[in-house]
Amino acid sequence: MVAAIGRSEAIEIKYQSLSRPEPRWRWVVPHAIGFDGFRWHARAFCEIDQTFKDFLLSRIIETRGTRSTETTSTSDEDWNEQVVLETGPHPDLSDTQKKVVARDYGMRGGKAQIPVRRALLYYALKWLGLDTELAARRLQDQQIVLLNPQPLPGAFRTLEAED
C-alpha cells in the first residue's frame, strides 16, 4: 500500500468488509495512510464504488498487482477540505475545573480550535468523545464540548468507510 502511494499507482486488494460475508477483490488508488487512534486506514479511491473512502489496513487480506492510474488525491474533496472543531470546557464544570481543562487542551479564552480533514472528522469526533449527545456521558468522562456543531452534520455524508 505504501509503495503504491509512493508511485501513485492503483493496487488490487482482497478486502474483507463487515457488510459482505466474503472478501472481495477490488482496485483502489491509495493516496494517504491515517491513524484514528486505534487502527490504521488507507485513504483511497475505490474503482468499484467510484468514490474515495477509507480502507482498514487490517482488513486487506492480500494484494496481487499494481498499475498506473490517472486518479489523484486532488480529486478527494473530503481529504482536501478542512473543518475546524471549536471546543471548550464542559459548561457544568466549576470555574476552577474549566481553567484546568482549558490548560489541558491548550485553550485560549476558553476555546481551542482543532483543524481536521473532513475525511477524518468521524474519527476525530470519536477520539475526542464528541460523537454522542452531551447528556450521554458523565461530566467526568466528557470534560470538553463542541462549541460549533452547526457546520458538522453535512460533513458526515462521505464518511461511510468500507466496513
User: And the C-alpha cell for 159?
Assistant: 464518511
Where do the domains of the chain lie? 2-74, 81-158
C-alpha span between 10 and 30 (Å, rounded): 7
pLDDT band at 152 (very low <50, low <70, confident <90, very high): low
Residue 81 amino acid letter:
E
* pLDDT score of 160: 40
In this prediction, residues 74-86 reach a mean pLDDT of 94
Residue 111 class from Cβ within 10 Å (0-12 exposed, 13-18 middle, 19+ buried)? middle
Which pTM value belongs to this model? 0.80
Q: Judge whether residue 37 has pLDDT over 90.
A: no
What's the CA gap between 53 and 106, in Å, rounded? 32
For 119-134, what is each residue's pLDDT tens digit?
A: 999 899 988 888 887 7
Q: What length does the chain have?
A: 163
Cβ neighbours for 79, distance < 8 A, ≥ 6 positions apart: 31, 32, 43, 52, 73, 117, 118, 119
